[in-house]
Structure 1
Amino acid sequence: MLLFKFLIKNSKKLFLSFCFVTSIQTQISAKGFPKEYYEIEDTNKAKEYFFEYMYKMVSYENRLIKKERLFVKDVLTSNILNIDFDSPTFHKLLDIKQKYKIKNIYTLQEYEKKVDIIPPSLALAQAALESGWGKSRFVSDANNIFGHWTYDPAFGIIPKKRDFGAKHFIRVFKSLQESVSAYMLNLNRNLAYKAFQETRFQQRIKNENPDGFKLSQTMLNYSGIAHEYLNLLKDIITINNLQNYDKRFYQSNY
């Protein structure tokens, strides 16, 4: 009888707990890189597979970003005074403004600093470093390539070595592609990466394509190991000739 009363009294909590666990399990139903990647024994072949797989996802997201960038430029260099506030064009502009945390909806320069591509060499280097070449628990349990945290338990799992009193979770993504998308948006709109955004903008002013090697040295706030992190990125890009992926991307007219 006591057990029955307990279950009735706590049924709502039990139901919500069940939904929470089920939600997390649903989100991580497809985990990590393809099985064939983990079966490659040759280190060089494994690296090549990893970079090629990541490059495809990075290129896809960059093309989406470019479409947003071109849309904004087209709208704001036309006669903006004639924009209908009820039109799909205005609402799309408003969505992009909110997505990238733009302050002034009509200031093109703000968009140009934030709505721009991430050089593949930088993304690939950070992916390798943050995910342990796709073999970390973050990837296998949460499709999390770039070490993203969250403070919402509905979208995360508890890190194994979380400090006592800490409240962050490993963010869970439905797919690796979703993780790449979140990483790019994070670099583009987060104030912590203002140096990255400003340096990339200056490269654009000089009619240069964003340089992943140079931009890697603006990632001081991405990791707690600070300058050591910058050296690691520099080494990964250099040793693996990742700037060739930048050239490949720009030559494809993306």
Structure 2
Amino acid sequence: MRQTERNPLQTLLLFIVALAFGFGTLIQIADQSKPDQQLDIHYQSLTTAADIIPLTNPTRAIAYTSVVSLDTLPVADKKQRFIALLLPAILISKQKHQQQRLKLDKILASKKPTSPEQTWLNQQMALYEVTTPSQLKQRMINLPNSLILAQAALETGWGSSRFFVQANNVFGIWSFDPNEKRMMASQQREGRKIYVKRYDSLLGAIDDYFLTLGRGSAYKELRQAARKTQNSQQLIRHLHRYSELGEDYIQRLATLIRHNNLKQYDQYHLQNKA
């Protein structure tokens, strides 16, 4: 996306916003200062793992609509291709959410929102299940790429799980609504069938992941911590309620981040539009 000239006051405000949401997003915020700016997303399906576009930084805005199992690939190749699959969608989703946060800040700073702004605000409050704009602001968090990649790798077995391949479900998000797209799990819980959500793309899974963490009461501590730091090793401590594994889940995430040097991806950002 094309950068625009800014006066010193705008630059200062952007810096303050970057501090609020973490230094890791500074470049993305600077490039996305217009809250209603549209993203140029390329949707693509996969036939084989060879179709995965190699990862670069800056990263192309690609959202894969179908994936293939990476289970048969050599370990190093599997991990590299998995990250190339997921990171573009993560960056797109984070940029979308950053634009929403900026839009919310603009609305909160105005004395009287316009009718379209009030409509958008009402929709977002309903989506995040809150009753006030200030509560909404607390729910819209940013997370480091390394944390998201670690959870994605753990939940999918680096792109080999059935939910990932057949439903684009990256984080094992369950479905309780028979009217939404979903697939049945092979196991049951207390004699009852379990379903997981089915997404149209990996981007849809990432968007829903942010929504899940944004409105779930179990992740209040995570949201509070994310407003103070973007250090993934510190933030994962607040994910003990994400999985039944509890503390073991946190240790596995920590190991994934450390052994695979996932923090290197925290500085990745999307390409500007030509």
By the TM > 0.5 criterion, same fold? Answer: yes
Structure with more relative contact order (C-alpha pairs < 8 Å, separation 6 or more)? 2
Aligned partner of 1:125 in structure 2 is 150
Once the two structures are superposed, the pairs formed by residues 186-205 of structure 1 within 5 Å of their partners are 186-203=212-229
Change in Cα spacing, 1:39 to 1:146, as seen in structure 2 (3 Å) is closer
SS in 1 for 2:187: coil
Aligned partner of 2:257 in structure 1 is 237
Aligned partner of 1:83 in structure 2 is 113
- TM superposition shift of 1:236: 0.4
Change in Cα spacing, 1:163 to 1:78, as seen in structure 2 (3 Å) is closer
Contact between 2:184 and 2:196, CA under 8 Å: does it hold in 1? yes
Change in Cα spacing, 1:34 to 1:53, as seen in structure 2 (3 Å) is farther
Change in Cα spacing, 1:147 to 1:187, as seen in structure 2 (3 Å) is same
One-letter identity of the residue aligned with 1:45: D
Contact between 1:113 and 1:200, CA under 8 Å: does it hold in 2? no
CA RMSD of aligned residues (A): 2.4
Aligned partner of 2:185 in structure 1 is 159
Q: Residues of 2 paired with 1:40 and 1:65: CA distance?
A: 35
Q: Residues of 1 paired with 2:161 and 2:249: CA distance?
A: 18
Aligned partner of 1:183 in structure 2 is 209
- TM superposition shift of 1:114: 1.4
Q: Residues of 1 paired with 2:148 and 2:259: CA distance?
A: 15
Unpaired runs of 5+ residues, structure 2, are 1-44, 51-69
Contact between 1:33 and 1:134, CA under 8 Å: does it hold in 2? no
Structure that is richer in strand per residue: 2
- TM superposition shift of 1:164: 4.8
Change in Cα spacing, 1:75 to 1:164, as seen in structure 2 (3 Å) is closer
Percent of aligned pairs sharing the same letter: 27
Aligned partner of 2:159 in structure 1 is 134
Structure that is richer in helix per residue: 1
Aligned partner of 2:239 in structure 1 is 219
Question: Which residue of 162, 168, 173 maps to 1:148?
Answer: 173
Aligned length: 209
- Relative to the length of structure 1, the TM-score reads 0.75
String of CA shifts for 1:109-167, please: whole Å, max 9, x gaps.
x3332112221111100000001111111112222111011122343222112145224
Aligned partner of 1:73 in structure 2 is 105
Contact between 2:222 and 2:238, CA under 8 Å: does it hold in 1? yes
- Relative to the length of structure 2, the TM-score reads 0.70
Aligned partner of 2:195 in structure 1 is 169
User: Which deviates the most, 43-52 or 154-163?
Assistant: 154-163
Once the two structures are superposed, the pairs formed by residues 44-83 of structure 1 within 5 Å of their partners are 44-79=76-111, 82-83=112-113
Q: Larger Rg: 1 or 2?
A: 1
Change in Cα spacing, 1:34 to 1:118, as seen in structure 2 (3 Å) is farther
- TM superposition shift of 1:33: 6.1
